[in-house]
Amino acid sequence: MDTKANLLIRKGRVIDPASGRDDVADLLVEEGRLVRVGASLDAPGAEIMEAEGLWVIPGLVDSCVHLSLPGEGPWTGDVASECRAAAGGGITHMAVQPDCGPVDSTAVVRLIREQAGQANFARALPVAALTQGLAGEHLAEMQTLAQAGCIAVGQAGASVASSLTLKRCLEYAATFDLLVLFRPEDASLTAGGCAHDGAVAARLGLPGIPAVAESVALSRDLLLVEATGVRAHFQQISSRHSLTLIREAKRRGLPVTADVSIHHLLLDESALEGFDSRCHVLPPLRTVEDRQALLDAVADGTLDAICSKHQPLGSFSKAAPFPSTRPGISGLDTLLPLVLKLVQDGALPLHRALDAVTSAPARCLGIPAGQLETGRMANLAVVAPDEQRVMNERWLSRGRNSPWLDAVLPGSVRRTLCNGEVSWLAE
């Protein structure tokens, strides 16, 4: 049976950062394709959705999501369950990090794609491992994995200690024009740490991770990017000094983009007071000054995108003394509401904020998504922007490890269309 939507969305505020469009209009979807956007459209036989007072935006693109395969490991969220959470949050595309499996064989790539396809909620786009088993020692079959459907290669935060090995990996990736995802982190400076190496960690007696752990690794990575010419996307930038390095790399014309996690835009090291393990993340939450610098960098485009850095964990993962808990926040349910909160608080302008979770991450990843383009399969979300929602009342991820689980946040997704099909419909 053909499940592609025939739908007329009437009188919604259509906001498409990619084209600059922002007006009240109708959208017509026929057999799953967005065919027209305009005033007073007519579509006999199509389902009608009255959207007055609602926003119609492109489906969100999340550049960093950690998932696990069924029975795999300590995380509770698998591909199917978290794709549903994505759809409920207006997300239509998400880059699945290579620690799912790990993604170093075509069988794992096929499994991720099959499970996402069967669930039919959101597009799960696998990122291949840069090295075999993410061990940082031997090159993975990157080109074969790309041919199997991976959109990029990376290490998901696992280090490649040898600069020579990393250089060979990047040379290989550049040969096939593969995008490489980096999460810069010097393992020797990070080892044993669980919080930003600052005043709060010192007062709480927590082992620190200095900001230079990120910028040392970023400096090396940028030099190797320049030497090899590989396309690079840097993930979860967290410190002011790193922003200086990214700005300089872009100014010199290196093929570099970058993102930041949404929680680094809202929280700083003070969130750890009281040993709140829900705020145990990597890279760690840094200073107030770092957080403001990250916001400024999103606003001026130094940081291209905002991601959820979704990491769904079981309750046992956070029930231990702070240093022994697993780092990570479940972020798919809250990505859009927290972005809207930043807009509501005046921290980011609306169009730039929406661009950072739609068209910008799509450009970074090199995928055709994140915009309302006629002729393509419809990937969009209809959102009630002013509706305040207690997150816990409709939490879809299996991971409930979030400091915002009981928060009241703006923005409720009424409907999501992914690849032309209704993937989420609020009750």
**What mean pLDDT is predicted for residues 396-425?**
96
Start-to-end CA span in the chain (Å): 24
Q: Which of 71-85, 90-104, 122-136, 332-346 has the lowest mean pLDDT?
A: 71-85
Do residues 42 and 412 touch, judged by C-beta distance below 8 A? Answer: no
Do residues 260 and 238 touch, judged by C-beta distance below 8 A? Answer: yes
| pLDDT exceeds 80 at position 350 | yes
Strand partners, 12: 25
**3-class SS of residue 124:** strand
Question: 3-state DSSP helix/strand/coil percent for the chain, to nearest 5?
Answer: 35, 25, 40
Q: Please calculate the CA angle 256-178-358 and round it to the nearest 5 degrees.
A: 60
Say what the pLDDT of residue 70 is: 66
Say what the pLDDT of residue 32 is: 96
CA distance 351 to 58: 12
DSSP 207: P
CA distance 206 to 299: 32
Output 68-71 pairs: Cβ under 8 A, ≥24 positions apart.
68/100, 69/100, 69/101, 69/108, 69/111, 69/112, 69/115
Which amino acid, 58? P
Q: What is the pLDDT of residues 104-129, one digit of tens each?
A: 999 999 999 999 988 889 999 999 99
Domains recognised in the chain with CATH numbers: 7-55+376-425 (2.30.40.10), 59-365 (3.20.20.140)
Cα 78 to the center of its chain, rounded Å: 16
Say what the pLDDT of residue 315 is: 80
pTM comes to 0.97
Query: What's the mean per-residue pLDDT of the chain?
Result: 95
- Phi, psi dihedrals of residue 182, rounded to the nearest 5°: -115, 140
Do residues 130 and 146 touch, judged by C-beta distance below 8 A? Answer: no
| pLDDT exceeds 90 at position 80 | no
Say what the pLDDT of residue 333 is: 98
Q: Name the percent of the chain lying above pLDDT 70.
A: 98
| pLDDT exceeds 60 at position 82 | yes
Q: What is the pLDDT of residues 270-308, one digit of tens each?
A: 999 999 999 999 999 999 999 999 999 999 999 999 999
Do residues 29 and 367 touch, judged by C-beta distance below 8 A? Answer: no
* 69 confidence band (pLDDT: 50, 70, 90): confident
CA distance 224 to 173: 12
DSSP 368: S
Closest C-alpha among 352, 336, 329 to residue 387: 336
Q: What is the pLDDT of residues 310-332, one digit of tens each?
A: 999 988 899 999 999 999 999 99
Q: What is the pLDDT of residues 5-34, one digit of tens each?
A: 899 999 999 999 999 999 999 999 999 999
Say what the pLDDT of residue 427 is: 80
**What mean pLDDT is predicted for residues 202-216?**
97
CA distance 163 to 210: 21
Give alpha helix (H) positions in 140-211.
142-147, 163-175, 187-190, 199-204
